[in-house]
Structure 1
Amino acid sequence: MPQKVVVIYSGGMDSFTVLNKALNEGHEVYALSFDYGQKHVKELECAATVCEENKINHKVIDISAINQIIAGSALTDEIDVPEGHYEEESMKTTIVPNRNMILLSLAVGYAVSIKASKVFYGAHSGDHAIYPDCRPEFVKKMNDVCKIANYEEIEIVSPYLNVSKIDILTDGIKMNLDYSKTWTCYNGREKACGKCGACQERLEAFKLNNAKDPIQYES
């Protein structure tokens, strides 16, 4: 049954697919993006463009002040973004401490304030090796908390939690989505680097779907 929902929308291909999945299910979508001081701020530009084109209610919230107390990530600090696959130990430098708990908490508060019933976000199985706040046990515990944190119960929905980015892209292709409107690379440059874990996972997903990635790469 269609409902009013909040979608945490980074502008990346996973959240782009989740956003469209929620729209295709007939939900009244309120997209919520966060500027947490990430180097790849280009993803927020992609999010704004998609929401404007599709007349989706969209808010971008600046929470970059949290970097005064949350530090040590290659995504926000003067630390080189590592190259290689997500399975590699070096990718742990891309963890932003407690990021998804913070973002989900804010999104749930927003959902309560606009009388929405669900919060969607795009965690998937490819994240499980590196990011604790994308694992099923985290989502379950957050769901438990969000049922008692307010008078209103808010459900956290992660439609791709137990499948890979390859499967997400497969679903997106079936929906005829245009992934040129997304940004994945962790480096904040004009073109995607093609070498960081985010790029490698994205390129792998397109290759295994026998599809061509529509964005430009440095090499």
Structure 2
Amino acid sequence: MENLPAHVAVIMDGNGRWARKKGLQRLLGHREGYKTLRGVLLDASELGIRYLTVYAFSAENWRRPKEEVDGLMVLIERAAKDELRTMHQNNVRVQVAGRIDEVPEGLRKALEHGIETTKDNTGITFTLAINYGGRAEIVDAIKEIVAQGVPAGQITEETVAAHLYNPETPEPDLMIRTAGEMRWSNFLIWQSAYCELFVTDTTWPEFGSKDLLSAVHTYQSRTRKFGAVVE
């Protein structure tokens, strides 16, 4: 497939709305969303996409009801453990983005184990953004730069980019947002300056192979200008 986005980022929105429409608890929507993610990761890998980054839990999500937050932490921890063998067998490399030192210890250890186990894999790189905020990422980068004593006059965009959570990961080419909302929600705000945006009304639990292909085909039909004029 020509002109394939190397890096696809996804704002997985609509789990709660999907559950509400069906008269279910919100946590059941998140569980269904987890099933969707398993399929999307496989589909992305088979398409030849090199990087997939998903917004699993934002720094602002701590404001949600405690029961939902606790349930999400347990769900993500179980998923990290249950899926590791399959991901490792499929040559997936696991990364995280966010302040994982602030998540429950069991989840943090599961994520760190996944990172260590798959660090030498050469297939698709799967980044889980958890306890993540785009502004917080920039703040953390600036703190590192200051701590290293870099003179203000020597700080460039490249300097900041080199101190983001995963600086070796290229900027996303395509950002997919499900459930129809037209906003970034503080996700990869530095890296997504020139990425293409694809918004679908389909909720995340309903998102499937055809939806991913539709997003990719839409990306392929566009001309990326990066601020220039394309004749």
TM superposition score normalised by structure 1? 0.38
Higher relative contact order, chain-length normalized (CA < 8 Å, sep 6+): 2
Higher share in helix:
2
Structure showing greater Rg:
2
TM superposition score normalised by structure 2? 0.36
